[in-house]
Chains A and B, each alone.
Chain A
Amino acid sequence: MILILIKLLILPLLSPLCIGIIRKIDAFMQNRRGASVIQPYFDLWKLFHKDEVISPDASWIFRATPYIIFAISLMLPLGIPLLSQVESWGFFSDFLVVVYLLALMTFFLALAGIDTGSMFGGFGASREMTLSALTEAVLVFSLLPIAIISQTSNLILMATTTSSLPPITYFPIFIAFIGFFIALMAETGRIPFDNPSTHLELTMIHEAMIIEYSGKRLALIEWTAANKFLFFVLLGANIFFPYGLSTTTNLLDLLIAVGVVAMKALLLIGAIGIIESSIAKYRLFRLPDLLLTGLILGIISLIATNI
């Protein structure tokens, strides 16, 4: 029970910190000092205290979307192994449920983008849908090899299986992880897919969809984006590298697991920060190629697991 509570709270509580850390890494890579790692908390606080401007043409979709996607983002971590291998949350643990919860979020965001009739919202939504259709396949195919190895689509059981595999069979999983990493960058709008810090509307994807939002609803959307980012980091760290997960629910074991999982997450965030600082954004029409590469990696991994 307490574990479920932790799972519900960990995302919203820690996700702004993750955004702060990745911004700090970006700043470091650019020889800047950068803002404090807790700045995103202040940003959310600021947005929650601001007035909103909502277009008179906006329908209920525009108003409801921030709440819907925020709620979905809270549910996301319920099914994944967070600290131990003995957690279970039946329905939410199926990796296809996770993939389609993400798709549901994208669906509502894209609708909200079109809803106000603004130019930028429209093409942000069109770009996002083009990419997310491809990303969905990459995500499924990167998780599929592990599902096949462990003969289950339950994420917690999948983590249990991968942690007990001999290192020699780890190679296909690593290939699948690279595919997963590409999907992660696409889903969370990092470079080379999208530039989260640009002000140029014409180049935006995610930011263009939400360009009409302000105040509290914008805060919720920003918070959701942060949640999604942390969720992907935890998913990657615990499914592909499930070492250090506690096998019991002893307090001591769990505390050790907290430290190990935090280390893994930080390493992954560091890798994302360094990679995105050292490349440029791809030309929009080259992005499908990159996603296709991710898909092929998934398929290779799938073949490799069956040899």
Chain B
Amino acid sequence: MTYSEIIKQFLPQSVSPELSTNLILFAVPHDRLTEICTTLYTTHSLPLKTIKAADERATNGVFKIMYIFAVPHEKYFLVPYVAVKEGQSFPSLVKHIYESLRYEQEIHSMFGLLPEGNVFLQPFILHENWPQTSFPLRKDFKGTTRPAMIDATGPFQKIEGEGIYEIPVGPVHAGIIEPGHFRFSVAGEEIISLEPKLGYTHKGSEKLFESFTIPEMIKLSERISGDTSFTQSLAFCQAIEQLGGIKVPKRASYLRVIYSELERMANHLNDVGFILNDTAFSFGGSYGTRLREQIIQLCEELTGHRFLRGVNTIGGVTKDISPEKQQSIGALVRSLKKDFEELIEIVENKETVLNRLRGTGVLEKQTAHDYGVVGIAARASDIPVDARIDYPYAAYPDMNVQVAKRDSGDVYARYNVRIQEVINAIHIILHALNNLPSGQISQHTTLTLKPNSYTVSITEGWRGDIVYFVATDTNGKVSRVGIRDASFLNWPAVPQAVVGNIVPDFPLINKSFNLSYSGFDR
């Protein structure tokens, strides 16, 4: 669809849209926000990709809250926004669009703007000892200041009844994993409710972006969620390329696909191994870890970094793949495919393993939809979303990407989605290697960003889609970077999948989601 067709189909007559890179922005009065957003979300079934606020008091005297809706298979995003003056509140969408809850909580904690009608306003991501009068993402808050701690404890929801007791787990866990607190309310072994408390790895990344130079920003984006370094920085680089009007050479876009898929494979293989390991089928555990290590070592051989850091750059990539390396990648992924299929066949014949996976941790389709769940978890619950198909980027339009979809929503479905995606990734890598165009691997031009612009870039990380919202100020400097990792939407859905299961199955369910704490907390 063209620009004018999209406007005609989705936008109400009364608004005056303006185009900023790939965003169709239009201001909405407070009293019409709910109606307009609900029309886009419910009537047109457009996915709400993220809600981000920006402090523009210096230029316009207001905060802007942007509601970013995507139009699948089109290159434009529809962005209704409201302008909010200091001390003013903005209308909450929670009653109509449940997934907006966490975004509104975040805006409330980080900008100090009140979502009118949202009653769930406990401190979000920020620790409860953080004073509730400092708002870190406001421009007048200096990132280097350390406000005085206040003495406060966050309440947990209380479930009462005969024989119900609480299990506090974390924030520090056994094994080398990230911190997060889980409060279970259980009756015997059955879980009645689970309340995760996150935020322990909040590093103020979005604030840090505002003080960094572009090369530093790339490095920071690689560290938002360490296991997704490449896809995270790819989303950021694409956003800057859109703002700078840079065209990425064809070869670079193919290389980006290959690296993305290597990252996806490594993580999926690791997860398949760990899911098996959590059923105490340790043979599968060590097998998965070995396969993952092979990919990771290949990454190191190709780029000098096991997690592909330092590979993405504005305008392309820094590491080429020589013809000899192409051969060795092809040989490795082919032999790995054989080994992997062997493992899957062994597991399929193990009744004891399948019994643990099937019917455990079911995430209902409707729940997944209401929480806006993305990625593996969504596809396992019969929702066919995949940014590689819905919002094609890099060289994905040339690839034959298949959605790996299952419909049971349990651990087994998420396990199978991963297996399917490993096989798909192997096909994509082989296809990309066979058709790798010659030419440059990056575009060297001086970078000038459009001033006063906004852009959104989406990539499909191995967990799910990653959204970067980038805005520039009047000097063409990056003034705001908003990040929405897949974990941000999927974490709140985990308790829904856990309730009704028994306590010893929780680690398995949690592993089948394997969400990033750092990606959620940033």
Contact (A203, B507) CB under 8 Å given A280-B352, A284-B189: yes
Is the CB–CB distance between A280 and B507 below 8 Å?
no
- Tell me whether B356 and A285 are in contact (CB under 8 A): no
**B355 contacts across to A, CB distance below 8 A:** 280, 282-283, 286
* Contact in complex: A191, B502 (CB < 8 Å): no
B287/A280 in contact, CB under 8 A: no
Partner of A283, one of B283, B285, B287, B502: B502
B96-104, B119-127, B166-174, B313-321 - the one binding chain A = B166-174
Q: Could you tell me which residues of chain B, from 122 to 178, have a CB within 8 Å of some CB in chain A?
A: 167-169, 174-175
Which residues from A are CB-within-8-Å of B281? 279-281
Interchain CB contact under 8 A, B502 and A201:
no
The answer to whether residues A30 and B286 also contact, given A119-B168, A280-B353 and a CB cut-off of 8 A, is: yes
The reply to whether the CB of B195 lies closer than 8 angstroms to some CB of chain A is no
B504 engages A284 (CB within 8 Å): yes
Known: A202-B506, A203-B507. A281 touches B279 (CB 8 A): yes
Considering the complex, give the chain A residue whose CB is closest to the CB of B280. Answer: A281
Distance in Å: Cβ of A253 to nearest Cβ of chain B: 41
The reply on B503 being an interface residue by CB < 8 A is yes
Within 8 Å of chain B (Cβ to Cβ): is A169? Answer: no
Count of interface residues, chain B, beta-carbon cutoff 8 Å: 28
- Which residues on A sit within 8 Å (CB–CB) of B285? 30
Q: CB within 8 A of B505: which of A119, A191, A283?
A: A283
Number of A-B contacts (CB under 8 A): 78
Q: Which of B167, B280, B353 contacts A195 (CB 8 A)?
A: B280
User: What B residues does A278 contact at CB under 8 A?
Assistant: 283, 350
Q: How far is the CB of A133 from chain B (nearest CB, A)?
A: 15
B290: chain A residues within 8 A (beta carbon): 31
**Structural contact, A191 and B280, CB atoms closer than 8 A:** yes
Q: Are B504 and A29 in contact (CB under 8 A)?
A: no
One digit per residue, 1 when the CB lies within 8 angstroms of any chain B CB and 0 when it does not, for chain A 199-231 equals: 111110000000000000000000000000000
- Measured CB to CB, the closest approach of chain B to A176, in angstroms, equals 24
**Is B502 within 8 A of A285, CB to CB?**
yes
Question: For the complex, what is the distance from the CA of A236 to the CA of B371, rounded to whole Å?
Answer: 54
Nearest CB in chain B to that of A26: its residue: B282
In the complex, chain B residues whose CB is within 8 Å of the CB of A123 = 167, 189, 503
Whether A280 lies near B169 (C-beta < 8 A) is no
B241 at the binding interface (Cβ < 8 Å): no
CA distance A277 to B279 in the complex (A): 11
- Shortest CB distance A158–B (Å): 33
Q: Is the CB of B174 within 8 A of A279?
A: no
Task: Please tell me if B278 contacts chain A, counting CB pairs below 8 Å.
Answer: yes
Contact (Cβ within 8 A) A201 B169:
yes
A198 CB–B CB distance under 8 Å? yes
Closest to B501 in A: A283
Interface size band for A = 20 to 34
**B352 pairs with A202, CB closer than 8 A:** no
Instruction: Tell me whether A282 and B189 are in contact in the complex, defined as CB-CB below 8 angstroms, given that A202-B506, A277-B283 are known contacts.
Output: no
Q: Is the CB of A198 within 8 A of B167?
A: no
Q: Closest approach, in angstroms, between the C-beta of B116 and any C-beta of chain A?
A: 40
Q: Which residues of B contact A284 (CB under 8 A)?
A: 189, 502, 504-505
Within 8 Å of chain B (Cβ to Cβ): is A197?
A: yes
Q: Is the CB of B502 within 8 A of A30?
A: no
A32 to B280, CA, bound (A): 16
For A31, A203, A284, which residue has the most chain B Cβ atoms within 10 angstroms?
Answer: A203
Closest residue of chain B to A204, judged by CB? B504
The residue of chain A having its C-beta at the shortest distance from the C-beta of B184 within the complex is A202
Q: Roughly how many angstroms separate A277 CA and B350 CA in the complex, as a whole number?
A: 12
The interface bits of chain A over 150-177 (1 if a CB of B lies within 8 angstroms of the residue's CB, else 0) are: 0000000000000000000000000000
- Report if A192 contacts B (CB, 8 A): yes
- Provide the residues of chain A in CB contact with B283, threshold 8 Å: 29-31, 277-278
Complexed CA–CA distance, A123 and B283 (Å): 28
Is the CB–CB distance between A200 and B507 below 8 Å? yes
Interface centre among A191, A192, A201, A283 (most CB of B within 10 A): A283
Q: Check if B189 sits within 8 Å of A202, measured CB to CB.
A: no
Q: Are B280 and A198 in contact (CB under 8 A)?
A: yes
Chain A neighbourhood of B286, CB < 8 A: 30-32
Known contacts A199-B175, A200-B278, A201-B169, A280 near B356 by CB under 8 Å: yes
B285-296 Cβ-contact flags toward A at 8 Å (1 or 0): 111001000000
Q: Which chain B positions have C-beta within 8 A of A202?
A: 167, 169, 503-504, 506-507
Q: Whole-angstrom distance between the alpha carbons of A203 and B189 in the complex?
A: 11
Chain B window 31-45, contacts with chain A (Cβ cutoff 8 Å), 1 for yes, 0 for no: 000000000000000
Assess whether B282 is in contact with A199, with CB atoms less than 8 Å apart. no
B502 contacts across to A, CB distance below 8 A: 283-285
Nearest CB of A to B508, in Å = 8
Complex: A32 Cα to B356 Cα, angstroms:
25
Cα distance, A70 to B300, chains bound together (Å): 50
Q: Please, what's the 1-or-0 string for B349-362, where 1 marks a CB less than 8 Å from any CB in chain A?
A: 01011011000000
Complex CA–CA separation, A255 to B286 (angstroms): 41
Q: How far is the CA of A283 from the CA of B411 in the complex (A)?
A: 14
Q: Using CB atoms, name the residue of chain B closest to A282.
A: B352
Interface residues of A in 242-286 (CB under 8 A from B): 277-286
Determine the distance from Cα of A188 to Cα of B287 in the docked complex, in whole angstroms. Answer: 26
Residue on B nearest A196 in the bound complex, by CB: B280
Closest A residue, CB atoms, query B278: A200
Q: Given A31-B290, A283-B502, 13 other A-B contacts at CB below 8 A?
A: A30-B282, A30-B287, A31-B286, A31-B287, A192-B280, A199-B175, A200-B174, A201-B174, A202-B169, A279-B281, A279-B350, A281-B279, A282-B352
Q: What is B's interface to A at a CB cutoff of 8 Å?
A: 167-169, 174-175, 189, 276, 278-283, 285-287, 290, 350, 352-353, 355-356, 502-507
A interface, CB within 8 angstroms of B: 26, 29-32, 119, 123, 191-192, 195, 197-203, 277-286
Nearest 3 A/B pairs, CB to CB: A281-B280, A280-B279, A30-B286
